[in-house]
Amino acid sequence: MNRLEILFSTKKHHILNVYGTAGFPKLNSTLEMMRSLQECGADMMELGMPYSDPLADGPVIQHSNAIALSNGMTMQKLFAVLKDFRKEIHIPVILMGYLNPVLQFGFEKFCAAAASVGIDGLIIPDLPEFEFENEYGTIIKKYGLSFSFLVTPETPDVRVKKLDSLSSGFLYAVSASATTGGNTHVSDIASYFNRLQLLNLKNPVLVGFGIKDKNSFNTACRYAQGAIIGSAYIAALGKNENVNAATKSFLSSITG
């Protein structure tokens, strides 16, 4: 079993997945952030690869992407940072980002590099299922990486089943049709999550977008195996120079 399978088979509820942008708030704060997240109780993490035009993201994550790029973060530097991270980080780590920087790095070269440093999976929101099936899916599989598709409240059942069948690791259920960091009321969408539960999906489901505090996290966890927090954590990092202290205080506000 890989790290993701172990996590999802041993922890059946309240899985906390935290997103952080690589190179934010400082170019060299990435490893420190990853250590802190592991130490403070994150079950897994998503490491964002910064992009100049993050279409699916709201202002907070856009800003973190812009700062990371102005700090000089690149794909090359990210893989240099990640070279030995498995010596100290043992929780699952997913790389999340947009397709263009991955294509320029070289899609197969990217998958090979990710797998060789010990990355567990990928989320690329603008890689649609046609392209996945036509070209990229086999490369991702070849390197043993998981790939999570997103589904939204507007995704019809047939399509949810299809995207679930193509996904591995987990299925990413977006809480509302929105960019990241919005003010979704997770409780308003009970029928959507109930619908997902009835579909007998092959993957565990994590809920993301609009999960920002203990209350929304717990509500999301009522309907899924866990939830993903991004913008709220990035905002917390932006307010405190000390990455470790910011992480500790933010995660204790969720899990404490």
Partner 1 sequence: MSISRKTITLKKMNSEKSYTAPDKHGYYGQFGGAFIPEMLYRNVEELRSKYLELIADINFQRELNLLLHDFAGRPTPLYFAERLSNQYNANIYLKREDLCHTGAHKINNTIGQLLLAQRMGKKRIIAETGAGQHGVATATVCALKGLDCIVYMGEKDMQRQAPNVARMKMLGAKVIPAISGSKTLKDATNEAIRDWINHPDDTHYIIGSVVGPHPYPDMVARFQSVISKEIKEQLKEKTGTAFPDYVIACVGGGSNAAGAFYHFLDEENVKLIAVEAAGEGLKTGKSAATTVLGKPGILHGSKSLLMQTADGQVVEPHSISAGLDYPGIGPLHAHLFTNGRANFLNATDREALNAAFELAKLEGIIPALESAHALAGLKKLFTEINEHAKKRETVVVCLSGRGDKDLETYMQHIS
Q: Write out the residues near partner 1 by the rule CB under 8 A.
A: 51-53, 55-56, 58, 62, 66, 69, 74-76, 98-105, 125-128, 130-131, 149-152, 154-155, 159, 163, 174, 177-179, 182
Q: DSSP characters for 10-22?
A: H--S-EEEEEEET
Q: Is 21 in contact with 45 (CB distance < 8 Å)?
A: no
How distant is the alpha carbon of residue 192 from its chain centre?
21
Which is nearer to partner 1, 7 or 127 (by Cβ)? 127
The answer to whether residue 5 is catalytic is no
Shortest distance, position 191 Cβ to partner 1, whole Å: 16
Distances (CA, A) of 111 to 31, 75, 107: 20, 12, 6
CA-derived radius of gyration, the chain: 17
Shortest distance, position 184 Cβ to partner 1, whole Å: 11
Which residue of the set 5, 32, 43, 57 is catalytic? 57
Shortest distance, position 46 Cβ to partner 1, whole Å: 15
Shortest distance, position 178 Cβ to partner 1, whole Å: 5
Which residue of the set 5, 32, 46, 164 is catalytic? 46
Structure tokens, 122: 């990928």
The answer to whether residue 88 is catalytic is no
Distances (CA, A) of 66 to 51, 62, 166, 181, 218: 8, 6, 31, 16, 31
Which is nearer to partner 1, 121 or 247 (by Cβ)? 121
Residues designated as active site: 46, 57
